[in-house]
A and B are shown apart, each in its own frame.
Chain A
Amino acid sequence: MGRITLDKVAKSFGDVEVIPPLDLTIEDGEFVVFVGPSGCGKSTLLRLIAGLEDVSSGEIRIDGEDATSVPPAKRGLAMVFQSYALYPHMSVRKNIAFPLRMAKLDAAEQSRRVEAAADVLNLTEYLDRRPGQLSGGQRQRVAIGRAIVREPAAFLFDEPLSNLDAALRVGMRLEISELHKRLETTMIYVTHDQVEAMTMADKIVVLRAGNIEQVGSPLELYREPRNLFVAGFIGSPKMNLIGGEIAEKHGAPTIGIRPEHVTVSNEAGEWHGTVGVSEHLGSDTFFHVTCDGIEEPVTVRVGGEVDLHYGDKVWLSPDPDHLHRFDKAGLRIA
């Protein structure tokens, strides 16, 4: 079980309010991702849930019970740190067994659980090595192993993949998702990488300066961003945000259109522009088109190979069904 409820939880460091009062419910078995720009308070929020920081006000409930002043070890949560925080002088086996040893489990049960965790994470052959003799990905797995042997109510991950190279990151991303499917335990995952958020989450919590901007499934956030911040943050490449007269024509101070919802034509269309830099990814091509009356170049996605070159004149038309409108305050107009 692992249902976590935050009730008006706030955190200040001295005079600085890092997290204004905030409500959030994380259902049992959910994979929740906290995402937001650097310094927005993601780690702080996670540490509040873990109990490593005290809340300034508000209440944290785990499975319905008030855990606000329960010490971290008693909350039944396991955390995987960004730096892995492995114990360098202990072998992998001892690292993974450490929480069990602290819980005074008998030796047979300890080794049974360690072997089982090592088996799940493909660490069996490294059990007698020290963390210093492992690669980054292996260390990451040891850190996860140390978390899963405790059979916690929920896992907390603080940017666990940010120290890995791109290829390994994709691999570990899948492994963690796989692990979640298998264990069906609540996981809270902090990242500033919106691709990780989109691919792994059941539910994304977008944070800005300690405020929750929107909570929802990846596709909800993608299809119906509640405000300009979420619209610009979720999706890669970013949504085109256009203001001025062109937006007025569509009846809003600002409009947004995703790159895949713009059609390109040589003959006719709504906006006229010049092709700038293009990015060829093989499956897709992204063109940055400078249009008359639009400040920023408009990014357009075209499937496969297209015969367009730097300096070509083209016409762009946004798909009206996928046009997002935002009011003066930056909120979505339904």
Chain B
Amino acid sequence: MATQHSRSAARLMMTPAVILLLGWMLVPLTMTLYFSFKRYLPMRGDSLERGLDWVGFENYVRFIGSSSFWPSVQATLLIVGGVLVITVVLGILLAILLDQPFWGQGIVRILVIAPFFVMPTVSALVWKNMMMDPVNGMFAYLWRFFGAEPVSWMSDASVQSIILIVSWQWLPFATLILLTAIQSLDSEQLEAAEMDGAPVLSRFFYIILPHLGRAITIVILIQTIFLLSIFAEIFVTTGGSFGTRTLTYLIFQRVVDSQNIGLGSAGGVYAIILANIVALFLMRIVGKNLDQ
């Protein structure tokens, strides 16, 4: 990609993809922006043909003024943060474990990746009905076996349950990326540290962890993008009740349950702003890490 000629050829080749992507993003974005300044209640007979009333920033004020707005931002950050911590910490430990030579390594590695291939809806249903059901769930049996009162997960520990389910789905992704990063660590570095008198834990903190820094930032960045918009896991388990109403879920309720498209669109714009703040924040960390 060095010569003038190959660069312009590359641009030409990329044009269709870029145009398609721009259309894909720009059309919904403009529509969201447009609706967010309109009063649009389809149940009351509003429609595009009849023309929509311009209401200025009323939708924005109402969305942010609603008593469910701040709790939803909180729930979003709590779930995203919780999943990130669990997947990164467990991901590192699992990656180190899988990097050790042991019998049946190939099969275990495939098994570890398996949850990633299960659809979010399916995995949430399985967790809800098979594992966490307070009467017939596996956890209930386990609790009763030890003589404890089964927990009704979906109502008493709703946020934790969602974090658990989503972490289970994303752990393979984190493990996989971190495993490849660990495998790229020069074994002579570890041996040098061993000769330098570093015990196992020091070797982990001084050599392995810094080596993983870049991979960890990438895991965090990619996961955050996807975790900000988790929906199916909430929809099929708690339906947004018991403090699990994230920003995404609130917007869904405004548009579908309350049939208020203008208000939902305003919420969508807030979600874009939130995502950008988080992304900006992350990009700076990643940028710092990738510069090295």
A contact set with B: CB distance below 8 Å: 50-52, 71-73, 77-79, 81-83, 85-90, 98-99, 102-103, 130, 146, 150
Contacts and interface: CB of A to CB of B under 8 A. Distances in A.
Interface stretch (B101-109, B135-143, B189-197, B243-251): B189-197
A105 B188 CA distance: 24
Given A52-B194, A150-B196, A87 B213 contact: no
Contact of A81 (B191, B197, B211): B191
Interface in B196-222: 196-198, 202, 206-207, 210-211, 213
* Band of interface residues on B: 10 to 19
B202 A102 contact: yes
Given A81-B192, A83-B186, A87-B189, A103 B197 contact: yes
A83 B292 CA distance: 20
A102 B197 contact: yes
B186 A85 contact: yes
Nearest to B188: A85
Nearest to B198: A102
Contacts of A86: 189
A78 B195 contact: yes
Contacts of A146: 192, 196
A281 to B, nearest CB: 37
A71 B198 CA distance: 11
Contacts of B292: 89, 130
A149 to B, nearest CB: 10
Interface of B: 186, 188-189, 191-198, 202, 206-207, 210-211, 213, 292
A191 to B, nearest CB: 17
Given A77-B195, A90-B210, A98-B198, 7 more contacts: A72-B195, A73-B197, A85-B188, A87-B206, A87-B210, A98-B206, A99-B197
B191 A85 contact: yes
A192 B275 CA distance: 58
21 contacts: A72-B195, A73-B194, A73-B195, A73-B197, A78-B195, A79-B192, A81-B192, A85-B186, A85-B189, A85-B192, A87-B189, A87-B193, A87-B207, A88-B211, A98-B193, A98-B198, A98-B206, A99-B197, A102-B197, A102-B198, A103-B197
A86 B270 CA distance: 47
B198 A79 contact: no
Nearest to A73: B197
Contacts of A90: 210
Contacts of A83: 186, 188
A73 B193 CA distance: 9
Contact of B196 (A52, A71, A73, A82): A73
Contacts of B196: 73, 98-99, 102, 146, 150
Identify the 8 closest CB pairs spanning chains A and B, nearest first.
Answer: A85-B192, A73-B197, A99-B196, A85-B188, A102-B197, A89-B210, A81-B188, A85-B189
A304 B206 CA distance: 57
A50 B213 contact: no
B202 A52 contact: no
A70 to B, nearest CB: 12
Contacts of B211: 88-89
A72 B195 CA distance: 5
Contacts of A72: 191, 194-195
A321 B197 CA distance: 54
Contacts of B193: 87, 98
A79 B190 CA distance: 12
B236 to A, nearest CB: 43
Contacts of B188: 81-83, 85
Contact of A52 (B186, B195, B198, B213): B195
Interface-centre pick from A83, A86, A87, A103 (highest chain B CB count, 10 A): A87
Nearest to A149: B196
B213 A89 contact: yes
B220 to A, nearest CB: 18
